[in-house]
Structure 1
């Protein structure tokens, strides 16, 4: 039985995913088996090298963005602290949304705080009351409301809801007593479970131009 001696790979070899054993180069397959590098097909090696190259850049970029976000939060926090010390009040009020601009009005940083919410069992009561209203409405009446209710509760997927459409229901001016009780049930079902802070960046050439977003999201870059 051959004794296998695993050697310490160089930084370049490690980055390439190579394992050095008994003086030979191997690469692990998806099952954890060591395959001699010369036995790996050329296209598989090229794909491996391409993905490792991209992932190296992705890790560096991710770390850079994380540092940038930390510095941005720290810089804005320091500025907010100065304003609070000067005026005795926090910028952005209770919600925490705030906007910062350069003196020439051409650069802007926006901080938006979005509440993360969940819905309690009262939502099922609201759905039952709403269904009662819809069943009594004459055929063809308030079809747009029917469609909105269908989208809000997404009845084809049990347990799923559409928050934006659900909140649209709260804006409708319907005087039916059951509808009003349903809207109260929706409001009572809402629980704020946390919040998430988004920082967005904008620029424009002159104060008369429209803002252009500086995108960091790869899907929108």
Structure 2
């Protein structure tokens, strides 16, 4: 199977199409050449913006970390590592900067033990169980479109005030089953509007 030519292999006066074939520029329609030039220009400009955003994000996190450390030093405290979410307000309250760190969690095999204990409770409570609790439990363990357990729904079960010892053991199993497998960090900017509500300053191309 032949390999597509690299940029350095393409002879002068030829262009490579989407199928890897070499086409002489004289055979490429002007509109196709114009489209190609426009796409290349927009991608180049987009990559430049992306690089600037990446630099801004790195610098923003470094500046926030440095400020948090400076603030802590006012009380003789030295912090180690990044410590969760931080909200900073401008002096006049017009602007707000939020550093948010969202952890991505999964459950290990102990979630199955929790589910078994909960199922036992529900079977014993068949007559007296409140329908909304049964529905809540069923929804919590229903997988999403990708086949994954919805972690937020499972963790919400722990907020239910149920004294049954088996339920309490199930909630302990859920807590033990939680595994933090990664995290994502965000910097969010806000400006207060005339109504006193903070509106996001979008750094997403779809939101500007």
TM-score bracket, normalised by the shorter chain, equals 0.7 to 0.9
Deviation at 1:147, TM superposition (A): 3.0
For the residue of structure 1 that corresponds to 2:174, the secondary structure is: helix
Structure 1 residues not aligned, in runs of 5+:
1-5, 9-18
Q: Offset at 1:41? A: 5.2
Q: What SS does the aligned partner of 1:87 have?
A: coil
TM-score by length of 2: 0.79
Question: How far apart in 2 are the matches of 1:216 and 1:70?
Answer: 14
Whole-Å Cα distance in 2 between the matches of residues 153 and 202 of structure 1? 36
Deviations along 1:86-129, whole A, 9 cap, x unmatched?
322268x9843211111111111111222232321100111122
Q: 1:53 to 1:134 in 2, by over 3 A?
A: farther
Q: Using a 3 Å threshold, how does the CA distance of structure 1 residues 145 and 218 change in structure 2: closer, same or farther?
A: farther
**Following TM superposition, by how much is the alpha carbon of 1:156 offset from its aligned partner in structure 2, in angstroms?**
7.3
Query: Is residue 99–residue 186 contact of structure 2 (8 Å, CA) maintained in 1?
Result: yes
Q: Structure 1 CA distance, aligned partners of 2:189 and 2:30?
A: 44
C-alpha RMSD of matched pairs (Å): 3.2
Report the Cα offset of residue 57 of structure 1. Answer: 2.2
Deviations 1:7-49 (A, max 9, x none): 97xxxxxxxxxx862x42x222233221223434566545434
**TM-score, with structure 1 as normaliser:** 0.75
Match of 2:3 in 1: none
Q: Is the 8 A contact 2:105 2:151 kept in 1?
A: no
CA positional deviation for 1:173: 1.3
Q: What CA distance in whole angstroms lies between the structure 2 residues aligned with 1:43 and 1:130?
A: 65
Residue 104 (str. 1) matches residue 88 (str. 2) = no
Question: 2:10, 2:16 within 8 Å by CA — same for their partners in 1?
Answer: no
Q: How much has 1:137 moved relative to structure 2? A: 3.9
Alignment CA distance shift 1:149-1:54 (3 Å): farther
Out of 192, 197, 200, the position equivalent to 1:213 is 200
**1:153 alignment counterpart:** 141
1:163-210 Cα offsets, whole Å, 9 max, x none, are 11111111111223322221111011112344332211111156x611
Matching residue of 2:167: 179
Aligned pair count reads: 202
Residue in 1 that maps onto 2:177: 189
Instruction: Name the counterpart of 2:114.
Output: 126
Query: Equivalent residue of 2:73, what SS?
Result: helix
Answer whether contact 1:151 1:162 (CA < 8 A) is retained.
no
Tell me how far 1:211 sits from its aligned partner.
Answer: 0.6
